[in-house]
């Protein structure tokens, strides 16, 4: 009988862990008609609702598969996330947003769900701030409490990168023309309210093709980065794929890359994130802990990425049990990961605002 009770308790705990905490109920109620509003030019209704919580303080969370949320984009902004993610598919010269081709819909496009709303939000924010701006002051961002905070729009290209790339560039024009995009001008990074990062089948060779104005940055392969070498006489290279393997459309951090990379391949002039699956690159030991070897791997990846000027993002973090998820989050924050890739916005932002101390998965864990 005791064994059955223990089994039932574990089963219930796991079942509960599949469901995120309730969050953003006010936002969902306020924006229940968002799809209708986005399909019109009348942005005033939802902009007023968005601007009501002027005390939102941004934190380092990335809204994973943001388009699955009840209110895409706005749920993440209401929570204070500084990154959102959209999976993008090209069909008939239009960019659709969804997890799989079967989930795509005519009304769910990159323009209608992200680019259009962001243009309207930023136009609104900058009209309000215009009286306070002097000369050529930079445009302000989406958050009143941190007007210079950039919002990362991570675009995961699911279709052929070389074919999708020019369509993406064209669709980013409204943000680009208003000066809202972060860009590299050939000498330095000029930060804007929106930083676009390409992942998935985004082709690295096309990202770096424009050397004087680059406003889409790469999601570099965190586990493939080469450490910087102080001695100019030494050159370390790493082979990232077989020569026979097609260099395009091979996934995050590898599409369009050279066969070999060295310490100078990825840097802040062409990349923003350095990402990898936590499950594949680090993983937990069989008893659900990070031992000294795993921690050293983690620290080394973070150290190398930061030496290149890149921000570290781990995807594929365990989502349950919640205590295990929270433990991994705390370890990542403690070790210097720049942004948490999350599904549960409420839990992540609570932790980020409270700090990384407190409960651990196992008192014996590092």
Rounded Cα–Cα distance for residues 142 and 85 (Å): 16
pLDDT digits (tens, 9 = 90+) for 254-278: 899 998 999 999 999 999 999 999 9
User: How much is the pLDDT for 133?
Assistant: 57
pLDDT band per the 50, 70, 90 thresholds, residue 38? very low
Is the dihedral angle over the CA atoms 170, 138, 212, 256 positive or is it negative?
negative
Fold of 28-354: TIM Barrel (3.20.20)
pLDDT at 21: 40
Q: What is the DSSP pairing of strand 59-63 with strand 311-315?
A: unpaired
Question: Which one is predicted more confidently, 40 or 188?
Answer: 188
Written as six digits, the tokens of 177 are 């023309």
Q: Evaluate whether 302 touches 295 at the Cβ level (below 8 Å).
A: no
The whole model's pTM is what? 0.83
| C-alpha to C-alpha distances, 340 to 126, 183, 337, nearest whole angstrom | 28, 24, 7
Q: Can you name the residues that pair with 274 across neighbouring β-strands? A: 220, 312
Cβ pair 99, 90 in contact under 8 A: no
CA dihedral 109, 113, 114, 120 (to 10 degrees): 120
Identify the residue whose tokens are 């690159």.
281
DSSP structure class, residue 306: H
Contact 337, 304 (CB under 8 A): no
Task: State both tokens at 137.
Answer: 């002051």
Handedness of CA 274, 275, 279, 280 (dihedral sign): negative
pLDDT in tens, 68-120: 998 999 999 999 999 999 999 999 999 999 999 999 999 999 999 999 999 99
* Residue 41, phi then psi, degrees to nearest 5: -95, 5
Kindly give, in sequence order, each residue whose CB lies less than 8 Å from that of residue 41, ignoring residues fewer than 6 positions away.
none
Q: Which of 355, 312, 349 is nearest to 77 (CA)?
A: 349
Residues whose CB is less than 8 angstroms from the CB of residue 254 and which lie 6 or more positions away in sequence, other chains included: 221, 224, 240, 241, 247
Q: ∠189-310-170 over CA atoms, to 5°?
A: 55
Q: Which pLDDT score is estimated for 49?
A: 53
């Amino acid at each position: 009988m005791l064994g059955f009770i223990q089994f039932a308790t574990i089963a219930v705990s796991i079942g509960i862990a599949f469901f995120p905490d309730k969050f953003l109920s006010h936002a969902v109620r306020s924006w229940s008609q968002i799809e209708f509003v986005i399909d019109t030019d009348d942005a005033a209704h939802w902009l007023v609702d968005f601007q009501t919580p002027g005390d939102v303080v941004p934190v380092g969370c990335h809204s994973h598969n943001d388009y699955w949320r009840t209110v895409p984009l706005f749920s993440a902004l209401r929570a204070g996330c500084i990154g959102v993610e959209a999976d993008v598919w090209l069909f008939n010269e239009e960019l659709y947003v969804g997890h799989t081709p079967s989930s795509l819909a005519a009304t769910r496009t990159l323009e209608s769900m992200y680019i259009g709303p962001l243009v309207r939000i930023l136009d609104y924010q900058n009209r309000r701030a215009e009286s306070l701006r002097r000369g050529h002051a930079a445009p302000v961002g989406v958050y009143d409490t941190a007007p210079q905070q950039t919002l990362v729009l991570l675009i995961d290209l699911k279709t052929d990168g070389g074919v999708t790339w020019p369509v993406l560039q064209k669709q980013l024009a409204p943000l680009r023309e208003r000066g809202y995009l972060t860009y590299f001008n050939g000498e330095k990074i000029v930060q804007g309210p929106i930083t676009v990062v390409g992942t998935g089948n985004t082709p690295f060779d096309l990202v770096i093709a424009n050397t004087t104005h680059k406003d889409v940055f790469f999601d570099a392969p965190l586990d493939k980065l080469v450490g910087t070498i102080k001695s100019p006489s030494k050159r370390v290279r790493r082979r990232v794929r077989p020569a026979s393997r097609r260099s395009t459309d091979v996934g995050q951090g590898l599409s369009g890359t050279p066969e070999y990379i060295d310490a100078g391949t990825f840097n802040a002039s062409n990349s923003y994130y350095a990402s990898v699956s936590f499950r594949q690159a680090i993983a937990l030991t069989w008893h659900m802990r990070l031992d000294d070897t795993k921690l050293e791997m983690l620290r080394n990846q973070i150290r190398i990425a930061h030496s290149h000027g890149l921000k570290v993002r781990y995807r594929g973090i365990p989502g349950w049990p919640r205590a295990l998820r929270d433990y991994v989050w705390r370890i990542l924050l403690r070790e210097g990961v720049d942004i948490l890739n999350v599904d549960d916005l409420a839990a992540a932002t609570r932790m980020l605002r409270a700090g990384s101390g407190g409960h651990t998965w196992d008192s014996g864990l590092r």
